[in-house]
Amino acid sequence: MRKILQKAVFAVLVVFVFSASASVNPSQIIRKGTKLVYDVNYSGFRYEFTIVIKDQTDAYSFDWTLGSPINKKGSINVSKAAIQNANGLFNYFANGDINNLADQCCVVLSKKMFDAFKSNNTIEIFTDKKNNELSVFGNAYSHTQTFGYNNDYSNEFDCKTVTNGSDYQITYVDDPNFPLIIEMNLGWSMKLKSIFN
């Protein structure tokens, strides 16, 4: 009986250790030069959205590429003010550089958004600032989500998903220092596929 109990405890510990080690903190793997690849479905067009991190200090910047059939590229610089207080998500990409986004974030949530969800509050977010479209998001729930890291697809982020009570949802890494958006559905969708260093 004692051996059966020891084996059961050992099995539970192995599962616990494996589960604990599978979750990854984004600050452990995302740094200057890191490439993130998202799959996008926009109005029936499927393509890859690739970003390469250039800076992530007080502000952040990255080079981006939209794959075929869109074929656009440029750079984005997001200001410190946007990282702190943005209430919009930037998603209009045209060839060239986009400098100093002041009231929208891209690929990460602002601290204002993250803090609202952390406190289990709702927040009104511009899902399409260009067309003045707002939606109230809340009802955060926790889960893990897998992704590829250097072609190993057994990695997980501890995430939260928020919805607008309808079809829109945003899934992000539950990390106040780098709340990376993993997946979004805002009438179009994007999902993180891989991270490469």
Q: Is the pLDDT of residue 13 over 50?
A: no
The backbone region for 180, taken as left when phi is positive above 0, alpha when psi lies in -120 to 50, beta otherwise, is: beta
For tokens 């045209």, name the residue: 94
Question: Are 196 and 35 within 8 A, CB to CB?
Answer: yes
Question: Are 158 and 142 within 8 A, CB to CB?
Answer: yes
For tokens 């995302």, name the residue: 30
Please count the other Cβ atoms lying within 10 Å of the Cβ belonging to residue 98.
18
CA-based Rg of the chain, rounded to a whole angstrom? 18
CA angle, 79 as apex, 172 and 181 as ends, to 5°? 10
CA neighbor of 66 nearest in space, from 57, 78, 74? 74
What is the rounded CA–CA span in Å between residue 61 and residue 55?
Answer: 5
- pLDDT tens sequence across 93-143: 878 788 778 899 999 999 999 999 999 999 999 999 989 999 999 999 999
H helices of 80-126, in order, are 80-85, 111-118
What pLDDT does residue 139 have? 94
DSSP one-letter code for 154: E
Q: Is the pLDDT of residue 1 over 70?
A: no
| Phi, then psi, of 4 in degrees rounded to 5 | -65, -45
- pLDDT average, residue stretch 145-157: 91
CA neighbor of 144 nearest in space, from 164, 134, 159, 133? 159
What is the rounded CA–CA span in Å between residue 163 and residue 184?
Answer: 10
By mean pLDDT, which of 17-21, 81-85, 111-115, 148-152 is the weakest? 17-21
DSSP three-state, residue 98: strand
Q: Is the pLDDT of residue 64 over 60?
A: yes
Q: Is the pLDDT of residue 3 over 70?
A: no
Distances (CA, A) of 184 to 99, 106, 121, 164, 197: 23, 12, 19, 12, 23
Q: Is the pLDDT of residue 53 over 80?
A: yes
- pLDDT tens sequence across 22-44: 688 888 898 999 999 999 999 89
- pLDDT average, residue stretch 47-56: 92
What pLDDT does residue 167 have? 93
- pLDDT tens sequence across 67-106: 999 999 999 999 999 999 999 999 888 787 887 788 999 9
What pLDDT does residue 114 have? 97
Q: Is the pLDDT of residue 165 over 80?
A: yes
